[in-house]
Amino acid sequence: MRASVIASTLLILTLGALPVVAESDFAKKLRGDYSILGQDLLNHTGELATIRDFVYEKDVATFTFAEGTIHLLRYVNDRPTTALFIGKGHARISIPSHVERQSLLTIARDSVVDEEFETCLIRIGDDFDLKLHEEFSFEFKQLSWRHFNQAAKKPQAEIFFKPTLHHLYDNYFQLLRSLYERGPEGYFWIDFNRYVFTFDPSRPEQVSVAYEFEGSDIVATDGAVFQRKESGVNTDAAMSDIAYPTTIIDRLANIEMSGLDGKRLESAQTTTRVLVNADSMRFVSLFLDRNLKTDSIYFAGAPVDFIRRRDFRFIGIVLPEYKFRGDTLDFTLWYHGKQFDHAMPWVANPQSSPHSYDFITPEGYNYFMPGMGQVEELDNRRQKFSATPERLFDRFYYRCFTGGLDTVSVVTDVGMSLSFLDWELMSKKTSDCYIPHEIYVATVTEAFNFMLARFGAPPGTFEMYVSAAGGFTMPGVMNIPHIACVTAGPMEAFGGFHAVAGRETARQWFGSLMQPATDRERWIVEAAPEYVNLLFLQTALGSASYSNLLHRRDSVYIFVENNRDLPLATGDRVPGAIRANKGLWLFHMLRLLMYDLESGSDRLFLRFLQELSLRASMKSFTNQDFIALAEKHYGQPLDRFFEQWLYGRNYPEYDVAWTVTGSGAGFTIGVDVITKQVAPEFTMPVILRVAGVDGSSRFFRQEISGLHDSFELGPLAVEPKKLVFGEFYSVLCKSKVKKR
C-alpha cells in the first residue's frame, strides 16, 4: 500500500543470468541414481528368491509374506531399491490416532487395514533386503514378462510412486535420502490391493496410509497421516505437536517485475534463512510456487546441488556437508516465471517469519502490499520501492493492477480512514455484474464499521485500502471485486454483494496474519472470516444470514452422503468446501452454546472472537489452543463437542417424538429422542422452543446424550402448540419431529 517511506536495507539489483557452474561428481551421481529409480522393470535383471513365512514390521504395520516369489530390482550403491512380491501375503496396519482412523474411514471405508494380498510392489531404502538375505537364497534372474503382467497392480503402483505435480514431495528424492544413509529406519513404501503404506523418516509426519479411492486415480489419496510410533503422538489433542525438520526464520528478496500486465516475475534473487531442528541433516526440502522456474541455488555463497522436476513445487537440496540442530542455513535462489501466487520459498513448517522486499517494477502499474514504502523513479521505464511489513507472514502475497486510479477516502465511525482505489475502467458500467459505485462504497464501509465496533482496529494495521479487483486480501488491503455477479439470482438470497464485502473485510481480523502451528489448524483461518461475515449479514440483511448458513449446511450434507466428510483437524486433506462450510458451522454451534437464552446476548461469543483474533495473530496457535480459548469463554469442558465436530466426521440424525400432559393448572412436555449416525457416547446441547397457543415462546437448552434420550420440559403455564427442535439451527443435523 502507498504508505510512509520505509528505508530500504537491501541493495536493489538488476538481476541477470548467473554463470553456468560445472556439476559436481556427487550431483552427477545423484542425477544418475535418480534416473535409476524410474527405469522400466520389464526385462530388468535382479535377484529372485522363493520365500515363506517372512514377517516384516515397519512402525505400526506388519507385513506377512506367507509364500511366493520376490524380485529385488533397481540397484543403487549395490543394493536393491525395488521389490516385487507375487504369492500370498497379509497386511495389518493399526492407526494410533482417533482422528486419523476417522479420516481413513472416509477414504477407505474402514478405520484399520487388515488385508490379504497376492501381489505388492515395494520401494525400499531401509534394511528390508538384508533381512530377506538372512533367511533366503537368491539368484540373479531377469524379471519375466509373465511376472511383470501377473502383478496386475504393479503398473498402477509405478504411477502412484512416480513424482507428479499432485505430490507434495518428490518420492524419488525422498527415497534417495534414505539410500545414501541406508539403515533400519530408512524409507519404506508398499502398494498392495488399493492401499499404499509409506514410512518416510524425512517428513514431519513420517507415516501415511493412502488408498486408491477410484480405479482411475493417478495418485492414491492419503487416508491417515501421523508420526512414527516412537514419537508417542497418538491422541487427538497432541496431533499438532509436529517436530518439523526445519523452520524459516527470515526471508529477503530482490525482485524485478515486467510484462504487459506488470505481473511477470522477470527475475528474483531471494535469500531464505532456515533453522535446522533435526539432529543432523544433509538433505533439505524447500518449496517454491510451481510456476516459478529455478535458475540456480547458492548455499553459503557457493552453488549447491539440487533436484527439482519441471512444474513441481518441491526442491530437494543437497548440502556439501552435514548440518546439525541449531545451525542456520542461508539459501539464495534465482528464479523467474508468471501466474504465481506468492514469490518466496517456504518449508513444510508454516511458522511465520519476517519478510523484506526490494522491487523494480515497470512504469504505469500500481502495486499494493503490506509495509510498502514510497515509490521512486528509477529511469524512464522503471520504478523502485521497498516493502518491509512489521508483522510476520507464512506466505506473503502482493498484487499488481493496471490503469490510472484515484483515491476516494471515507471516514469510518471511529475516525479511521478507508481509501477506495477507484480505477477509471471501473467507472464504466460495461458489465451486468457491475456494483454501482455508491453501493460498493456504502456496503464496504458498513461491513468495516460493523467489525470495528465488535473487534476494534484490525491487528497491526494503521491504513486501509480497498481495491476494486479480486485477489488475496492482505493486512491493510481489502481486495473486493467491483464487478461481481452476486446481486441477482440465487446468490442474492445468500447476501449478494454484502456477503463478498463482509467476508473480505473480516479477513483484516481473521486472515493472513493468523499463525496456525500446522496445516491441521488451516480450517480456522478459512472458517473464521466466513462466520464473522454471517454475523454481519444477520445485522445488515436479517434472513440472508440463515439462508447462507443453510446453503452451507446442504453442502456438508452432500459431502457426508458421498462419504467425503473428513475431520476438520486433518488439515489440507479436507476439501476446501468442508473446511469453510463445516468449519463455519462449528463456529455457529459454539456461538449457540455461549448464547444467553434469557437476555438474547452474544457477549461471551464476541469476547471469544475478539481474543481469538488477537491471540492467533500474535503467535502460533494449535487446535488445542482454540479449544482452550473456547472452554475459557464457555466456562465448561467441551471435549465431547470437539471430538465430534473437529476430530470426528458425519452429523447426527434425530427422531423426536413429544407429548403434552397436564391442564390449565400447568403443562409438561415429554420428549423422546433417538439419535443416529454418531457414536453412542455422543452428547450435544440443543436449543428447543415451545410455542404456546397464545403466540408466546419459551426457550430451553437441553443436552441430548447417547443414542436414546428422554426428558421433560416444564411446567408450562400456557398450553404448548408446537415444539421446535434445534431452534436458531443450534446443531448441524437432520431431524424429524412429530407430536404423539
- The pLDDT of residue 191: 95
Q: CA nearest 514: which of 497, 503, 526?
A: 526
Contact 472, 343 (CB under 8 A): no
Could you tell me the CATH number of the domain that includes residue 333? 2.60.40.1730
Q: Is residue 26 part of a domain?
A: no
- The pLDDT of residue 585: 98
Q: Which residues of the chain have pLDDT under 70?
A: 1-22, 150-155, 403-404, 424-431, 487-489
Residues 386 and 455 in one domain: no
CA distance 101 to 74: 34
User: Which residue in this structure is represented by grid cell 461481481?
Assistant: 484
CA distance 205 to 196: 16
Overall number of domains in the chain: 4
CA distance 207 to 194: 17
Residues 165 and 259 in one domain: no
User: Which residue in this structure is represented by grid cell 527415497?
Assistant: 175
- The pLDDT of residue 422: 78
CA distance 232 to 653: 35
CA distance 362 to 711: 71
Q: Is residue 11 part of a domain?
A: no
For the four alpha carbons of 87, 88, 94 and 100, in that order, the dihedral sign comes to positive
Domain that residue 532 falls in? 424-645
Q: Is residue 28 part of a domain?
A: no
Strand partners, 671: 658, 711
Residues 636 and 507 in one domain: yes
CA distance 586 to 526: 12
Domain boundary residue, one of 645, 669, 702:
645
- The pLDDT of residue 153: 56
- The pLDDT of residue 425: 59
The cell numbers describing 520, all together, are 491441521
- The pLDDT of residue 403: 66
Residues 624 and 663 in one domain: no
CA distance 173 to 254: 29
- For 135, left (φ over 0), alpha (ψ -120 to 50), or beta? alpha
Predicted TM-score (pTM) above 0.75: yes
Residues 611 and 473 in one domain: yes
Question: What are the φ/ψ torsions at residue 139 (nearest 5 degrees)?
Answer: -130, 150
Write the single-letter amino acid at 650. N
Residues 74 and 215 in one domain: yes
CA distance 522 to 713: 40
Residues 538 and 629 in one domain: yes
- The pLDDT of residue 331: 98
User: Which residue in this structure is represented by grid cell 437464552?
Assistant: 597
Domain boundary residue, one of 334, 369, 402:
402
Residues 572 and 699 in one domain: no
Q: Is residue 17 part of a domain?
A: no
Residues 366 and 284 in one domain: yes
